[in-house]
Structure 1
Amino acid sequence: MEFKMKEVGFTTNFEYGELHVAGDEKYGFRPFQLMVSAIAVCSGGVLRKILQKKRIDIEDITIQADVERNEEKANRIEKIHLHYLIKGNNLDKTQIHKSIELARKNCPMVQSVEGSIIIVETFELVQ
């Protein structure tokens, strides 16, 4: 990856397109937004694959992410609460819970921040 400085922030190009990153939302995505997004989407993607392999019929997954940051320590991310809203047919709470635990163990982004950012995961089944 290569990042080029622009007037405010940096830019990089990927196969999908150009990414602008800056501390000010007017000029690009903020770094903490990208980190939280990477953790949430990685977790959700791994969970989706696990549920598919278990042949659990999922119609939709929405992930709500709440972030706690510590202003006294460079505004670092201290805690991320991922709340999954899962829609499907004949869902078993125990199976969903086990699948979320398995996803946590197999998500590279969650494992990358293990020990430095607290990740809390909850879920509810929706209709």
Structure 2
Amino acid sequence: MEFYLKDEGIRTSFEFDNLNISSDENYGFRPYQLMTASIAGCSMSVYRKILDKQRIKYEDINLTADVKRNPDEANRIEKVHLHYVVKGYHLNQDKLAKNLEVARKNCSMVQSVKDSIDIEETIECIQLS
């Protein structure tokens, strides 16, 4: 990956689009947003693959990420709380929770930051009728 300095921040290009990074949200993604998106995106992708491999039927999965930063230490990310909401018919909450543990162990981003950022995961199951 190559990065280029711009007046408003930094830019990098990928085959599908450009990515602008800036401390000012008017000009691009803030670095902590990208870090959080990487953790959440990886976790959710791995979780989805596990559910699909086990042929667990679900209608939708939503994920919210709540970030706690420490302003006294360069505004570092201290904790990311990932809250999953799985919607579907005849869902087994215990099985969904166990699969989330498996996803955690297989998510490269969570494993990369596990000793420096506290990652908490919770799951909510919404049964559709």
Is TM-score (shorter-chain normalized) higher than 0.5? yes
Q: How big is each residue's C-alpha offset from its partner over 1:56-101, in whole Å with a ceiling of 9 and x where there is no partner?
A: 0011111011000000000000000000010122110110011000
**1:36 alignment partner, SS class:** helix
Aligned letter for 2:84? Y
Q: How big is each residue's C-alpha offset from its partner over 1:29-58, in whole Å with a ceiling of 9 and x where there is no partner?
A: 000000000100110000000001111001
In structure 1, what is the equivalent of residue 69 of structure 2?
69
User: How far apart, CA to CA, are the structure 2 residues paired with 1:29 and 1:49?
Assistant: 27
- 1:86 equivalenced with 2:86 (yes/no): yes
Q: Which runs of no fewer than 5 residues in structure 2 stay unpaired?
A: none
Percent identity over the alignment is 55
Q: Which runs of no fewer than 5 residues in structure 1 stay unpaired?
A: none
* Number of aligned residue pairs: 127
Aligned letter for 2:27? Y
- State the TM-score, normalizing by the size of structure 2: 0.96
Aligned letter for 2:15? E
**2:26 alignment partner, SS class:** coil
- State the TM-score, normalizing by the size of structure 1: 0.98
